Amino acid sequence: MAEQPENPYLDFLRRYRADPTGFVEQVLKVRAQPWQAELLQAVQDGERKISIRSGHGVGKSTAAAWLMLWYLITRFPVKIVVTAPTSAQLFDALFAELRRWINELPLALKDVLEVKNDRVSHKSAPSECFISARTSRAETPEALQGVHSDNVLLICDEASGIPESVFEAAAGSMSGTNAATILLGNPTRSSGFFFDTHNSHNADWWTRRVSCADSPLVSEQYVQEMLSRYGEESNAFSVRVLGDFPARDDDTVIPLELVESAQTRDVQVSDDEPIIWGLDVARFGSAASVLCKRQGRKIFATESWRGLDLMQLTGAVVAEFEACQPRQEPAQICVDSIGVGGGVCDRLRELGLPAVGINTAESPSLRTTYMNLRAELWFKLKGWLEARDVSLPFDDQLLSELVAVKYKFTSSGKLQIESKDDMRRRGLASPDAADAVCLTFATEATTVMRGGNLSSNWAKPVRRNLSMV
């Protein structure tokens, strides 16, 4: 009996299933840049969460197209979903790049694929093996939901611009044991999910930064033009050339650079500088109550509690106070007294602690400049950081909160801080720790709940037994 010829497709799979770079170089006939080869290999090695920020024109769409083709052709079944914030970004850029490289495939491979405007699939199994393009919009957060297969690949292009609600809706698909998620994009804003993957969540993600200087695709002329146009220290140069997140968003209160600088700085404070505590009381189920301690130019690590009722929170604060040595006791505890916080403040005062109720919704001392006291306190904090002789603790959550809050001007020209409700609508958590930090600057404010005076001479607090709380 004559020996049967070997199936050429099986031979193809043996050669390239575990060799994505070989697939690119030998099948597509192009040489991958080092960072592109690293990306391809990371997927092959089993990295499930990958996030790459880059400058313009470094070949990220090309790398994504190679990755999709290699994954589609060498796996079965396989579902690949690719998304971007706008249809132009998705179809005119990324999907157009994908179709370009499909045309570079050998005829035998190209013939097994069916190519449509928003979908590429195996002709023999179109429902089980495909690449699907889905635009990510805030009004349709389900774009990445319900993607399940033996092999799943989610690619998010221009990830900085994808609404947070889309990532939340896709959480199930992204966390599957068989799913790999690739985030790509220019780091256009210093907040949001994409930013967090390179900062507060970077321990969970395989990350890379690709500068234009790392790519042979970007001309030196382009880099010099950007340098002369915007300047080396500008956000535009950082984002478009260096692949770095901006020091701040144009409408954020506190630049990222100020926070990072303060976190790497150690300052000494004298014992005679007063200690001020700020207490932000949780008003929502997902929020935390946070206590911040500041002495002069230094903020110490914050304490946070979730799921405590008002009396339990009061007890936790009293415990913190009782644990202090006499010279570590706060001169004042500034409590956000809006809503349920008023009850906490009253109880702390009953127990002899120097608690002061701060209503951040009331008028600021500079009424022509700020919309309310909350806006004034946030800008007081910003000015404090700008002095560049102050210290913040290493706290990724605090960093994320401080650089996320936005401001705007009202019709009367006053500065107004983004509300917590507006932040939730952007998919961001309540900035509880950051608000607690801001409250430590209320000692200079003039508006206090129920007409209190921050300059009052408080009696020495009486030590209390916690069982009384």
pLDDT digits (tens, 9 = 90+) for 188-222: 888 889 999 999 999 999 999 999 988 999 999 98
**Given pLDDT bands bounded at 50, 70 and 90, which one contains residue 461?**
very low
Q: Is the dihedral of CA 29, 33, 38, 39 positive or negative?
A: negative
443, 435, 461, 441: which is closest to 302 by C-alpha? 435
Length of the chain: 469
pLDDT digits (tens, 9 = 90+) for 368-390: 788 999 999 999 999 999 888 99
Sequence ranges of the domains in the chain: 8-246, 261-468
Neighbours of 221 (CB within 10 A): 8
What is the CATH number assigned to the segment(s) 8-246? 3.40.50.300
Given a contact cutoff of 8 angstroms between Cβ atoms, the answer to whether 43 and 116 are in contact is no
State the amino acid at position 164 in one-letter form: E
Given a contact cutoff of 8 angstroms between Cβ atoms, the answer to whether 385 and 262 are in contact is yes
Pairwise CA distance, residues 33 & 44, whole Å: 17
Q: Cis before residue 187, ω within 30 degrees of 0? A: no
Q: Which residues does residue 357 pair with via DSSP β-bridges, in sequence order? A: 335
State which CATH number among 3.10.180.10, 3.30.420.240, 3.40.50.300, 3.40.50.720 fits the domain covering 261-468.
3.30.420.240
| Structure-block tokens of residue 375 | 């806006």
| Structure-block tokens of residue 435 | 């608000």
Pairwise CA distance, residues 251 & 430, whole Å: 18
> What's the confidence (pLDDT) of residue 452?
39
Asked whether this chain's domains 8-246 and 261-468 adopt the same fold, the reply is: no
Pairwise CA distance, residues 40 & 265, whole Å: 38
Q: Is pLDDT above 90 for 183?
A: yes
Q: Which residue has the higher pLDDT, 53 or 234?
A: 53
Kindly state the percentage of the chain with pLDDT values over 90: 54
Q: Is pLDDT above 90 for 122?
A: yes
pLDDT digits (tens, 9 = 90+) for 78-106: 999 999 887 878 888 889 999 999 999 99
Given a contact cutoff of 8 angstroms between Cβ atoms, the answer to whether 142 and 152 are in contact is no
**Given pLDDT bands bounded at 50, 70 and 90, which one contains residue 451?**
very low
> What's the confidence (pLDDT) of residue 442?
93
**Given pLDDT bands bounded at 50, 70 and 90, which one contains residue 141?**
low
Enter the DSSP assignment of 150.
S
Given a contact cutoff of 8 angstroms between Cβ atoms, the answer to whether 136 and 85 are in contact is yes
